[in-house]
Amino acid sequence: MERAAKISLETLTPEQVAKTIDHALLRPEMTIDEVIEGCRLCAKYQVASVCVKSCDVLIAAKQLQGTGVDVGTVIGFPHGNTSAKVKVFEALQAIDDGAVELDMVLNIAHLKSGLYDNVREEIKLIVNAAKERLPTCCIKVIFECSLLSDEEKVMACKLSEEAGADYVKTSTGFSTGGATIADLKLMRASTDPAKTKVKASGGIRSLDYLIECLQAGADRIGVSATAAIIDDMRARKAALD
């Protein structure tokens, strides 16, 4: 309640909102020209990071060098079904290519099968390998909440935090649902804010919903509608002045 009272259209600036955004460039059909254009948009709006497919990390790193916008990518995307060793290799290659943030999909089937030690150890393997290669690397664990029960979401939070992840994240944006306020509140309540942050992703297309997500406990927001959201924020702030 206290957090919600502090976060509102009136208390936020467009610059602050931009720095909550991980701009997503993940559509499978997205061309190289579209990736470059998206990176330029990220630099223009000064978002926190761009999240690209692993094959596009080199391109994004080149485009965003010196802009203050971080480069992130996805690991085991979108289903989380690759082996732990493959995820580690993918993570290390992404870091070598210039990524400083990694959004990894946990093994959803193993979580739902009750193989909690396996899930924890896989996350821990990736976290440890990535941070050994790049100590400042930020690791976010994607749950795909639309496929999980509340009990499984709570367990995923527990396992991710125990494994040393920096963030827990709602969704890939490529399954049956996206970020819900209920899930964000549950994830925030199920993790220690001093250790683990929360990322909302999937279906966030408006400024109002972005602010609702922040009020519910999200620290980062994965969106592709960055320009529309920030332009709306600037227009509405101007109208308030």
Known catalytic residues are 103, 169, 199
d(CA 148, CA 156): 9
Eight-class DSSP state of 67: S
The pair of structure tokens assigned to 5 is: 């009272």
d(CA 82, CA 176): 20
- Under a CB-based contact definition with an 8 Å cutoff, are residues 178 and 146 in contact? yes
Nearest in space to 130 (alpha carbons), one of 87, 160, 194, 192? 87
d(CA 228, CA 146): 26
- Under a CB-based contact definition with an 8 Å cutoff, are residues 61 and 97 in contact? yes
Pseudo-torsion of CA 240, 225, 154, 52, nearest 10°? -140
Eight-class DSSP state of 76: S
Helix (H) or strand (E) holding 201: strand 197-201
